[in-house]
Amino acid sequence: MSALGWTECDIILVTGDAYVDHPSFGMALIGRLLESQGFRVGIISQPDWQSAEPFKALGRPRLFFGVTGGNLDSMVNRYTSDRKIRSDDAYTAGGEGGRRPDRCSIVYTQRCREAYKDVPIILGGIEASLRRIAHYDYWSDKVRRSILADAKADLLLYGNAERAVIKVALRMAAGEKPREIDNVRGVALFRPVPEDYTELPADDLESADEAASRHPGDTVIRLPSFETVEVDKDAYARASRVLHREANPGNARPLVQRHGDRDLWLNPPPIPLTSAEMDAVYDLPYARVPHPSYGDAKIPAYEMIKTSVTIMRGCFGGCTFCSITEHEGRVIQNRSEGSILREIEKIRDKTPGFAGVISDIGGPTANMYRMACKDPNIEKNCRLPSCVFPDICPNLNTSHDDLIRLYRKVRETKGIKKVMVASGVRYDLAVKSPEYIEELVTHHVGGYLKIAPEHTERGPLDVMMKPGIGTYDKFKEMFDAAAEKAGKKYYLIPYFIAAHPGTTDKDMLNLALWLKKNRYRADQVQTFLPSPMATATAMYHTGVNTLKGVRRGGTEKIETVRGGRQRRLHKAFLRYHDPANWPLLREALKEMGRADLIGPRPDQLVPAHQPSGVVSNGTGKGTGKGPKKFGARAEQRPNSRPMKFTTKGVPFPKKPKG
């Protein structure tokens, strides 16, 4: 500040992550964006939260504090699906754990308020976005209020908030108070319902829609109050269903939810950025390296993404266990080829130690680039949660031509030796384009390719909104044929989730038998983690299938896996080959009446006798080392960790070549 001649910052951003000036890190992106609008921006990274003093390091901001927990929800970042503390943190220098508090955004907001009590505070980032209304919190096993109420901040910006943060900053610079900024998309605040609005009850959406047609003009949907959803699981399920139904920015209406004596107001979601706007965001002058104050310490998340390129945002898959849609939306936002190629040249020229390999080119998925509804009017009015479930919508353009052309241009860039595709390929889309699969296998796979069938059984797959295993089989056949044609020895690495809502013990047994039949041995597995706001989390909490109508007396109940033993059992089925899991599996098979699967034959699941010196570890985790770090992309998909396999006696490489 002294070198720049600043006496104060206009805006001070406080983040739970180490500061990396790279567009994959939300704080860098927002900071550079505000800087481009002429604001003087300061950043306080991972402050000591034990007192307010570290929050005074840059003085009093002229306009506001912007607070975020970081690229991940702080509870997801700190705890495993078994509620155990993680030993490390991918977003901290040296991978050190414990550098941010639990419920990071709340604690930081309190300290900012202590430092300068009359300075406005604005929440943003994924932690705020996914906790914007009353929500089930897995770690406390209860429904919590909106994070805006608990943090006592002034405004909350949800989703990708580039437009919103600029509008809010400009209006506050013009003298407006936060409570007056109530008409910006993607903003949540406490305010009364205006008198000229018609309130529609969330209890009956069909009646609400009819009422809206009878009352043209401004309408708002009233969700069940926090006090109601806290104790009434049917009401919670109904609120979750309405929230996800009102997610299309083309037709979404404002939502209001009572918290005590105040109304929490949520404006409709942001309109997706155009390609020109996306380009402008990614063309900002990022240094593309961690802050020099960290010295030689490695930041694992940066090491993972420093040579990767984000080409799109959003996902129309609607997988119920995933939070990407709730944050980024269902409409794909694309960068132009020119912007992507410019970033690749910057990686080549500015990234220390760059060896010519782009580690990933993709986004939330690898292959939704430039895919959209064929009819903008249909897209604007659609309320379906997925474009690809139960089948691919006939209105969806599934062409991979633009992506293939982009791949070829990237490969032709001077200094680029190899371009990997590490984002998960949506295989039900890929099978629509044999040319894409051939292009992918011939040029962009290094040893293995990760995809996510998640399960083999129709019951859990329907709850997840995932395609059947037959689609995976078709993709594998096309993948293997392309690999053979290219003269390559490549393998697929499938993800599977244990203990997902809608999954029975029998489902997991059938999955284990499928794995053994296909000679897959999972080294790392993931148990379902109920992340805030995900549809599957609502199912986990309520025992109700929120994909269908939620009506008292007529609601479809759903199997949930909550007990520790059953969760361990489901993980053990995925690691059927680990002797440490055999005692638990033998006990369960006997209880299920499937003792015929205990024995030495190839068609049996586990041996009858325990090897000498090997006892049950009681966790279902096996005896090998677990994953060292959490996924390091800006997107949050907590239930899809890599799984290492061996198949037909051939070990997979630990990482792609290069």
pLDDT tens digit sequence for 580-639 = 999 999 999 999 999 999 999 999 999 999 988 777 666 444 443 333 332 222 334 444
User: Nearest 10 degrees: CA dihedral of 15, 17, 21, 22?
Assistant: -120
Tens digit of each residue's pLDDT (9 = 90 or more) over 332-387: 999 999 999 999 999 999 999 999 999 999 999 999 999 999 999 999 999 999 99
pLDDT at position 204 is 65
Terminal-to-terminal C-alpha distance of the chain: 41
Residue 546 structure tokens: 């929120």
pLDDT above 80 (res 227): yes
Top-tier CATH class for 1-186: alpha beta
3-state secondary structure of 188: strand
Quick one: DSSP state of residue 580? Answer: G
Q: How many CB atoms lie within 10 A of CB 108?
A: 29
- Inter-residue contact 228 to 135 (CB < 8 Å): no
Q: How many residues does the chain have?
A: 658
Instruction: Note the pLDDT of residue 617.
Output: 63
Nearest to 343 by CA among 279, 390, 295: 279
Q: Is the sign of the CA dihedral 135, 364, 126, 244 positive or negative?
A: negative
3-state secondary structure of 480: helix
What CATH fold (topology level) applies to the domain 307-651? Answer: pyruvate-formate lyase- activating enzyme (3.80.30)
Q: Residue 344: how many CB atoms within 10 A of its CB?
A: 21
Long-range contacts of 545-551 (CB under 8 A, 24+ apart): 545/463, 545/502, 546/237, 546/240, 546/241, 546/244, 547/320, 547/385, 547/463, 547/465, 550/234, 550/237, 550/238, 550/241
Full DSSP string of 391-413: S--TTB----HHHHHHHHHHHTS
Q: Residue 577: which residues within 8 A CB-CB, separation 6 or more?
A: 516, 521
At 190, which helix (H) or strand (E)? strand 187-190
Judge if the upstream peptide bond of residue 54 is cis by omega within 30 degrees of 0. no
Q: Are 301 and 91 in contact (CB under 8 A)?
A: yes
379 and 373 in contact (C-beta within 8 Å)?
yes
The two structure tokens encoding residue 161:
């908030």
Average pLDDT over every residue of 213-225 = 80
C-alpha pair distances (Å), 52 with each of 40, 294, 579: 22, 23, 51
What are the helix (H) ranges across 467-542?
469-486, 505-517, 535-542
pLDDT computed for residue 649 by the predictor: 34
135-137 and 142-144 as β-strands: parallel, antiparallel, unpaired?
antiparallel
pLDDT one-digit tens code per residue, 22-75: 999 999 999 999 999 999 999 999 999 999 999 999 999 999 999 999 999 999
Q: What is the DSSP string of 260-283?
A: TTEEEEEPPPPPPPPHHHHHHHHT
Q: Which residues touch 617 (CB under 8 Å, ≥6 apart)?
A: 580, 581, 623
**Residue type, position 120, single letter:** P
| CA separation for the pair 255, 200 (Å, rounded) | 9
H or E element at residue 159: none
Q: With 80 as the cut, is the pLDDT of residue 302 above it?
A: yes
Residue 641 has pLDDT above 50, yes or no: no
The pLDDT confidence band at residue 207, using thresholds 50, 70 and 90, is: low
Which residue type does 596 have?
D
- Residue 652's pLDDT is 33
DSSP category for residue 27: H
Long-range contact set of residues 608-616: C-beta below 8 Å, sequence gap at least 24: 610/579, 610/582, 610/583, 611/579, 614/579, 614/580, 615/580, 615/583, 616/580, 616/581, 616/582, 616/583, 616/584
Whole-number Å distance between alpha carbons of 312 and 296? 31
The pLDDT score that the predictor gives to residue 616 is 67
Average pLDDT over residues 477-488: 96
Whether 446 has a pLDDT exceeding 90, the answer reads no
Q: Residue 432 pLDDT more than 50?
A: yes
Q: What is the mean pLDDT of residues 291-309?
A: 96
The answer to which of 403-412, 592-601, 611-620, 646-655 has the lowest mean pLDDT is 646-655
CA angle 376, 377, 383 (to 5 degrees): 100
Contact at 8 Å (CB) between 150 and 132? no
Residue 236 Cα distances to 33, 240, 247, 315, angstroms: 37, 6, 17, 25
Q: pLDDT exceeding 70 applies to what percent of the chain? A: 91
Q: How far apart are CA 339 and CA 416, in angstroms?
A: 16
pTM as predicted: 0.91
87, two tokens: 């030993």
Predicted confidence (pLDDT) per residue in 102-120, tens digit: 999 999 999 999 999 999 9
CB 189 within 8 A of CB 271: no
Using a 10 angstrom Cβ sphere, with 0-12 exposed, 13-18 middle and 19 or more buried, the burial of residue 385 is buried
On the question of pLDDT at 655 being above 50, the answer is: no
pLDDT of res. 203? 78
Domain positions in the chain are 1-186, 192-268, 307-651
**Which residues share a beta bridge with 67?**
14, 123
**pLDDT confidence band for 526 (50 / 70 / 90):** confident
Q: What is the pLDDT of residue 522?
A: 84
pLDDT averaged over every residue in the chain: 91
CA dihedral sign, ordered 380, 384, 387, 391:
negative
Predicted confidence (pLDDT) at residue 640 exceeds the cutoff of 60: no
Asked which of 241-255, 415-429, 481-495, 607-621 is least confident by mean pLDDT, the reply is: 607-621
- Per-residue pLDDT tens digits for 268-298: 999 999 999 999 999 999 999 999 999 999 9
Q: Tell me phi and psi for residue 234, to 5 degrees.
A: -65, -40
Residue partners of 653: CB distance under 8 A and separation at least 6: 446, 447, 448
Report the pLDDT value the prediction gives residue 450, as an integer from 0 to 100.
86
Return the pLDDT at 634.
32
Contacts of 576 (CB under 8 A, 6+ apart): 512, 515, 516, 585, 605, 606
| Separation CA 159–CA 328 (nearest Å) | 5
